[in-house]
Amino acid sequence: MSNPPPDSDRLETRLRNRCALLDGLIRTLDADTLHGYPADSGLSRFFLAHRECGSRDRRLLSEAVFAWFRWRGALTPHHAPGAAGSLLALALDGQMELCTDLFAHLHPHLPVERVPQADDLEKRLLEFSTWTGCPPIPPAALLPAWVPDALCSPPESADLDFYDRLLTAFQSRLPTWIRFRPIQPNPAITQFLAACPGAISHPYRTDALRLPPRFNLRGQPEWERSLIVQDLASQAVAAVCQPQPGESWWDACSGAGGKALHLADLMHNSGTILATDIRASALDENRRRSQKAGAQSLRHQAWDGKQDPAPNQLFDGVLLDVPCSGLGTWARNPDARWRLDPTRITELTELQFRLLEIAAPKIRPGGTLVYATCTLTEAENEKQIDRFLGAHSDFKPNPMPHPLTGQPCHAGRLWIYPWDGPACNGMFMARLIRV
């Protein structure tokens, strides 16, 4: 009978196996992403195929994937996709606690105690270059080169300052936001805050809470029906709509239904909401969530984005949360920056305008049109609304309060930047009225 291998041999085997697993995953997802496939879908498929991965490995692999895409632009000039590069990305991300033993195995010449710590993005990259011995990487390398020309920077900000701030925001890991629903009986938010140390209520939107890192909502079943996981910027969209009880609304590109459910809650489940989408899977999820939430005012319907979904019916309001390039979500979905072909923006602007043209005649005189995107480009936002108003003299901007501050938005347009939450997705919204 042979003797069992010593502990050092078992450790070496375990590290080697984990390195091989991580290396294959990063290489596959990096190649897939460059062909337009989302990393989260690929990661889900990987875990289905590797059920032997425990919770610790799943967390390491997940965080390593998104750290790689977050810092990919700084790493690829000197480090190929794979386990070694993704561990360097975790070091830049400040998540060395996940991989100290693995890091020492792959990078024995780099002292873990000297991992870059600077809060300033440029200084952190300089520390990183000194630490690794690689030439310095400018922060601009963290995003594709076409991005600066596509952005719409706020008038009060110099373009360079705005871009530097955006770069820093995109390298941050965003928190999870939840929205408390106005249902009865409803546990008080104060009770939830007591049960969840570290959760923070938004100072203006008191029904919005920011959760502490890695808080497990699944372990809190008593709150399941009372809250919705929804980014703060997305919560602002229904607030801009300002729907009233008894009204009729059309959520044209409803997706999985987070904003439709918010409309229903703001209307106290009174009135009607038509939720449409072209994607059958999203609409199925929309139905499931609506049923679970008891949102009886919601009606679901497949829509091809071309024909009138409700002939002979006018609505009090239409929410048009259109398909877009998604730059505002790049902190939460870092792989998206590398899979977006900039020529796609031109295609999206034509689709967005076509949807505006379909929505316009479906609104009664005096009714509301809310246009929203989760992107930060000028072509899909300011220029799109200018184009629409130039073609439709029967619509005009409708002033509104800013949903996160209460301050007036006199032009009926607003931007939410990733630091406005603080720490949320970027969004653009315009509120128009049909005269």
> What letter does residue 327 receive in the DSSP assignment?
G
CB atoms within 10 A of CB 130: 12
- C-alpha to C-alpha distance for 382 and 406, rounded to whole angstroms: 22
What pLDDT does residue 6 have?
A: 60
What pLDDT does residue 187 have?
A: 67
Kindly give the interhelix angle for 7-34 and 83-93, rounded to the nearest 10 degrees. 90
pTM listed for this prediction: 0.94
Question: Greater confidence, 222 or 308?
Answer: 308
Q: Which long-range contacts (CB under 8 A, 24 or more apart) does 218-224 make?
A: 220/195, 220/196, 222/187, 223/187, 223/192, 223/195
Rg value, the chain, Cα: 24
Question: Greater confidence, 97 or 221?
Answer: 97
What pLDDT does residue 186 have?
A: 66
Residue 354 has pLDDT above 50, yes or no: yes
Range in 240-244, 375-379, 420-424 the model is least confident about: 420-424
Residue 178 has pLDDT above 90, yes or no: yes
Note if 374 is an active site residue. yes
What pLDDT does residue 333 have?
A: 96
Q: Percent of the chain having pLDDT more than 70?
A: 97
pLDDT in tens, 400-430: 999 999 999 989 999 999 999 889 999 999 9
Rounded (5°) CA angle 125-127-130: 110
The mean pLDDT of 95-107, rounded to a whole number, is: 93
- C-alpha to C-alpha distance for 385 and 403, rounded to whole angstroms: 20
CA atoms within 13 A on the CB side of 399: 5
Lookup: tokens for 39: 């990393």
pLDDT in tens, 36-58: 999 999 999 999 999 999 999 99
Lookup: tokens for 357: 């043209």
Question: ω before 185 within 30° of 0 (cis)?
Answer: yes
Q: Which long-range contacts (CB under 8 A, 24 or more apart) does 400-408 make?
A: 400/240, 400/242, 400/431, 403/205, 403/235, 403/236, 403/239, 403/240, 404/202, 404/204, 404/205, 404/232, 404/236, 405/204, 406/204
What pLDDT does residue 1 have?
A: 47
Q: Is 70 exposed, middle or buried (0-12, 13-18, 19+ CB in 10 A)?
A: buried
The mean pLDDT of 296-310, rounded to a whole number, is: 93
DSSP string, 16-64: HHHHHHHHHHHHHHHHHHHTT--HHHHHHHHHHH-TT--HHHHHHHHHH
Question: Greater confidence, 268 or 223?
Answer: 268
Contact by Cβ (8 Å): 379, 352: no
Residue at token pair 């029906």 = 225
- C-alpha to C-alpha distance for 148 and 110, rounded to whole angstroms: 34
Q: If you classify domain 232-434 with CATH, what class do you get?
A: alpha beta
Question: Greater confidence, 189 or 361?
Answer: 361
Which of 224, 279, 273 shows the shortest CA–CA distance to 246?
Answer: 273
- C-alpha to C-alpha distance for 435 and 395, rounded to whole angstroms: 6
pLDDT in tens, 214-236: 888 776 777 777 889 999 999 99
What pLDDT does residue 339 have?
A: 95
Q: Is 426 exposed, middle or buried (0-12, 13-18, 19+ CB in 10 A)?
A: buried
Cα 318 to chain centroid distance, Å, stands at: 23
What pLDDT does residue 194 have?
A: 85
428 forms beta bridges with 373, 415
Amino acid at 116: P
What pLDDT does residue 18 have?
A: 92
Question: Greater confidence, 202 or 182?
Answer: 202
Contacts of 357 (CB under 8 A, 6+ apart): none
Residue 358 has pLDDT above 90, yes or no: yes
Residue at token pair 């820093």 = 168
**The one catalytic residue among 324, 374, 409, 424:** 374
Lookup: tokens for 381: 């936002």
Residue 5 has pLDDT above 70, yes or no: no
Lookup: tokens for 358: 């379909």
The mean pLDDT of 160-178, rounded to a whole number, is: 92
Contact by Cβ (8 Å): 71, 93: yes
Q: What is the mean pLDDT of the chain?
A: 93
Please report, for the chain, the start and end positions of each structural domain, with discontinuous segments joined by +: 7-142, 177-229, 232-434
- Report H helices in 203-342: 232-241, 258-266, 280-293, 336-339
Amino acid at 29: L
Residue at token pair 């076509």 = 354
Residue 139 has pLDDT above 50, yes or no: yes
